[in-house]
Amino acid sequence: MSDGDQVTGRAPARSKRSDALRNQQALLAAAAEVFVASGVDAPIREIAARAGVGIGTIYRHFPTRADLVVAVYRHQVEACAEAGPALLADAGSPFTALGRWVDLFVDFLVTKHGLANALRSDSGGFEALHAYFLDRLVPVCARLLDAAADAGEIRPGTQAYELMRGIGNLCAGHDGDPRYDPRRLVGLLLEGLRRPPSS
């Protein structure tokens, strides 16, 4: 580093930017957890407490609730997209990886169902986010399904979009009804994909 860099503090500025990005990612992860547990209308103070920051910090990054919900949505899409290959590499089998990925996807869908209300004044924005969601996640799900089929763990022929749509339909009933747990039915759906053991 040159004397000029030391004087201008360029390296610390980069470090500060990376720290700010990490803090924002931690805030989004905390908000996602709260949204999954309490819905997108959860109090901002609950998110702030989970993230260990002040309410003002949240509003400085995300001036409106819609801004925060959209940022959490994108954060969760990217987390789901990145988790697919990692799960395939680390899980004991492709079917196990698929099941763990679907758990993440269900968490994401809980937030997604609240997105339309948060963006009710911006239907075009919702449509753009939905297209982004499909572009990022359908190929990841397809890779998991193909790996499980190639390993002989599930029947071949299930399309990623139809599986994701089916899971989405099962999760939709969760809104406003705490007695309904979509995870049990999603688990049954995944078990239905399994290839019967050969006799």
Buried b (16+ CB within 10 A) or exposed e, 54-85: eeeebeebbeebbebbbbbbebbbebbbebbe
For the chain, domains (ranges, CATH) are 1-63 (1.10.10.60), 65-199 (1.10.357.10)
pLDDT, residue 16, reads 53
pLDDT at 149: 96
Q: Are 100 and 56 in contact (CB under 8 A)?
A: no
Per-residue pLDDT reduced to its tens digit, 14-54: 665 776 677 788 899 899 888 877 877 889 999 999 988 88
> Does the structure show a pLDDT above 50 at 6?
no
Q: Which residue has the higher pLDDT, 132 or 38?
A: 132
pLDDT tens per residue across span 94-120: 999 999 999 999 888 877 766 666 665
Residue 23: which of 55, 59, 56, 61 has the closest Cα? Answer: 61
pTM: 0.76
Residue 199: the pLDDT is 40
